[in-house]
């Protein structure tokens, strides 16, 4: 696809060029970041204004011990707020996932 560019980033730096990203979509990734607040803050100058950042994570509170390495909903929200992002919407219609839509 000509409209999608893949960039292999680093743990705390996406390596995206400044003001270059229209949307960020992370699936089952956020809970792996050692410093999620630092990562989100680093994205701020890489994304275009009003760019949505979508985080999809399993909901361990609904699915027991086999998903306990995922972050609980309250923790994800806390990290989003700590990163100075606005929580636009939370979707819980999926059977085992929560979708967080945030914006700078």
- Establish if 17 belongs to a structural domain: no
How many Cα atoms within 13 Å fall on the side-chain side of residue 85?
Answer: 32
State how many domains the chain has: 1
- Establish if 7 belongs to a structural domain: no
- Establish if 62 belongs to a structural domain: yes
Question: Residue-wise pLDDT tens for the chain (104 aa)?
Answer: 677 778 888 888 889 889 888 899 999 999 999 999 999 999 988 999 889 999 999 998 887 666 678 899 999 999 999 999 999 999 999 989 999 999 98
CA angle 34, 18, 31 (to 5 degrees): 20
Instruction: Measure Cα distances from 33 to 39, 48, 86 in Å.
Output: 8, 22, 19
Token pair 């990290």 is found at: 79
- Establish if 53 belongs to a structural domain: yes
Domain limits for position 64: 24-103
User: What CATH number has the domain bearing residue 34?
Assistant: 3.40.50.150
- Establish if 13 belongs to a structural domain: no
Task: Name the region of 67 (left: φ>0; alpha: ψ -120 to 50; beta: rest).
Answer: alpha
In the structure encoding, which two tokens stand for residue 86, read together? 């606005």
- Establish if 18 belongs to a structural domain: no
pTM: 0.88
- Establish if 77 belongs to a structural domain: yes
């Amino acid at each position: 696809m000509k409209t999608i560019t893949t960039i292999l980033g680093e743990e705390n730096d996406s390596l995206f060029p400044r003001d270059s990203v229209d949307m960020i979509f992370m699936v089952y990734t956020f809970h792996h970041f050692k410093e999620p607040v630092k990562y989100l803050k680093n994205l701020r100058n890489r994304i275009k204004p009003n760019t949505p950042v979508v985080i999809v994570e399993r909901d361990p509170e609904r699915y027991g011990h086999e998903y306990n390495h995922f972050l609980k909903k309250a923790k994800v929200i806390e990290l989003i707020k700590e990163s100075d992002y606005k929580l636009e919407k939370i979707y819980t219609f999926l059977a085992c996932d929560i979708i967080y839509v945030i914006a700078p």
